[in-house]
Amino acid sequence: MESKSNILMQRYELGRLLGQGTFGKVYYARSSITNQSVAIKMIDKDKVMRTGQADQIKREISVMSRAKHPNIIELFEVMATRTKIYFVMEYAKGGELFNKVAKGKLNEDVAHKYFKQLVNAVDFCHSRGVYHRDIKPENILLDEIGNLKVSDFGLSALTQSNRQDGLLHTSCGTPAYVAPEIIKRKGYDGAKADIWSCGIVLFVLLAGYLPFRDSNLIEMYRKISKAEFKCPNWFPPEVCRLLSKILDPNPETRISIARVKESSWFKKGPNAGRKKHESENNNASSSGTNISYQSDDVPAAETREESVMPKSINAFDIISLSSSFDLSKFFGDGFRKRAARFTSRQPASAIISKLEEIANRLRLKINKKAGGLLKLEGLNEGRKGVLSIDAEIFELAPLFHLVEVKKSNGDTLEYQKILNEDIRPSLQDIVWVWQTDQQQQSQQSETIVV
Ligand code: ATP
Ligand code: MG
């Protein structure tokens, strides 16, 4: 399956694709010198580091390369060519933790073990001034003996530099793990935002579903901003108490990690001996990560044909396939009616001017109606009458909008062509996340699973 020509930097034999993130792909690889299994994350340089956060990124990567913790994916080496950056990391053989949850909720002891490991990892990095900012299922992995390993610590600054306003994004386009202050676009404290995400993880582990769910995306955002959730009756009362302190919408009154660690539920259970093991491992290594540069690109690594690889199914795909986790329900009926939806961090006026600009260019008449509805209409009869497109803007939070684009009249093919070839690409600079992408992803994985 693997050809011998797939050797990276004369040192790593590349294997299968483990997954794909927003900024690049992660491959399994083996060191040809030590035979050790590793995971290599490959990122295009031009996709990151555009917005002058280079110093912060370098600082965090260098901190992470020295900080070793049993529950954090170790960064062994960073390599770079003219166009790519390669992060050589510890390989987490057990895959994503949430693949376990997709099979059913976990019992209290198991959830407790994972939550403790997660909080310890997060606390350790905070103590070194590094905040994760993107704790989500894809970044919570397991090793071969079932220990939790957080990945991408220190790398989030890298990927966020390219996200509008440095705000978080989640892979499925729902803010399921994101703290309310981030949705509300307030400046935020990385430590408090990470605690919120840990709380969501704890809830999902024990419940088997997300705390903030609704048949309607707008309603879901509202619930997050008010922290409106209900613990199922099988949650131990101590967990409910702890969760109500973690999922506090006000970051100022939200519990700190130190206090989470002091809570009776966190401290309970068979943990004797762990402290010693952790502190032994927490010492920063003196050797640190190797940072090396090579002037030329390595064709073997870059010409890999991903189309022959099966698309990996991520935790969200699995979650959305399992009935108790049906994320597509978040998007309501309109989602199934093939409305294209995206969220935007731009003010409504900027969204409207962008739509006007597109309408002018496409020679469509634009009609602004009350309640944030814009009607874009063709001047001529199409195959099935005049093409008419509705773009509706909903305010989810100040400076955070959801825009729904759908055909209200005319030929579907004509509409899809204009949407995909003109409207979608032209909207690129105001779009935060396209909500339809997740639907497409889960449709693809469905065909793989069935
Ligand atoms: P983002 O682009 O927002 O970081 P992401 O975390 O999903 O999203 P990557 O970090 O590129 O993207 O990871 C892609 C996938 O590769 C993950 O979903 C995970 O399943 C897999 N993966 C990442 N790192 C490792 C690792 N060290 N060991 C095993 N699998 C990994
Ligand atoms: Mg990741």
Return the ligand number nearest the Cα of 17.
1
pLDDT digits (tens, 9 = 90+) for 343-361: 787 888 899 999 999 999 9
State the DSSP H helix or E strand holding residue 362, giving kind and residue range, or none if neither: none
Strand partners, 341: 404
**CA 431 to chain CA centroid, nearest Å:** 16
- What's residue 67's pLDDT? 76
pLDDT band for 426, please (50, 70, 90 cuts). Answer: very high
Average pLDDT of the chain is 75
Which residue is closest in CA terms to ligand 1's atom 13?
21
Which residue out of 132, 138, 170, 311 has the highest number of ligand 1 atoms within 8 Å of its CB and is therefore the one to mutate? Answer: 138
Q: Ligand 2 is a single-atom ion; what residues have CB below 5 A from it?
A: 138-139, 152
Residue 172 or residue 411, greater confidence: 411
Which CATH number applies to 297-449? 3.30.310.80
Domain borders along the chain are 7-90, 95-271, 297-449
Phi and psi (nearest 5°) for 157? Answer: -65, -35
Question: How far is residue 353 from each of residues 208, 374, 399, 430, measured CA to CA in Å?
Answer: 43, 11, 15, 11
Residue 418 has pLDDT above 50, yes or no: yes
The residues that are catalytic are 134
Give the pLDDT of residue 357: 94
Whether pLDDT at 151 is above 50: yes
In DSSP notation, 151-177 reads --TTTHHHHHTTSGGG----TTS--TT
Residue 93's contacts (CB-CB under 8 Å, 6 or more residues apart) are 37, 142, 143, 144
Task: Quote the ligand 1 centre to 373 CA distance (angstroms).
Answer: 38
Q: What is the largest CA-CA distance in the chain?
A: 76
Lowest average pLDDT, out of 49-53, 195-199, 328-332, 411-415, goes to 328-332
User: What is the dotted CATH code of the domain comprising 7-90?
Assistant: 3.30.200.20
pLDDT band at 119 (very low <50, low <70, confident <90, very high): very high
The helix (H) or strand (E) run that includes residue 374 is strand 373-382
* pLDDT top residue among 419 and 178: 419
Which residues lie with the beta carbon below 6 Å from any ligand 1 atom?
A: 18-24, 26, 39, 41, 73, 89-92, 96, 134, 138-139, 141, 151-152, 159, 171, 314
Residue 344's nearest CA partner among 371, 368, 372, 304 is 372
Of 171, 154, 176, the residue nearest 41 (C-alpha): 154
CB 411 within 8 A of CB 382: yes
Name the amino acid, one letter, at 275.
Answer: K
List the single range of 96-100, 239-243, 271-275 with lowest mean pLDDT: 271-275
Q: From ligand 2's centre to the CA of 152, what distance in Å?
A: 5
Q: How far apart are the first and last CA of the chain?
A: 24
pLDDT for the residue 284? 33
Any binding-site annotation on 230? Answer: no
Q: Which of 18, 20, 97 most suits a substitution to test ligand 1, by most atoms within 8 Å of the C-beta?
A: 18
pLDDT confidence of residue 5? 60
Cα dihedral sign, 287-156-178-332: negative
- If 0-12 CB within 10 Å is exposed, 13-18 middle and 19+ buried, where does residue 449 land? exposed
The residue with tokens 């309501």 is 332
Distance CA 47, CA 26 (A): 15
> pLDDT tens digits for 5-62?
688 888 999 999 999 877 789 999 999 999 999 999 998 777 665 545 556 666 667 7
Residue 160 has pLDDT above 60, yes or no: no
Does domain 95-271 fall into CATH 1.10.510.10? yes
As a whole number of angstroms, the distance between CA 155 and CA 163 comes to 13
- Looking at the CA of residue 92, tell me the nearest atom of ligand 1: 28
Ligand 2 geometric centre to CA of 432 (Å): 19
Q: Which two tokens stand for residue 53?
A: 């956060």
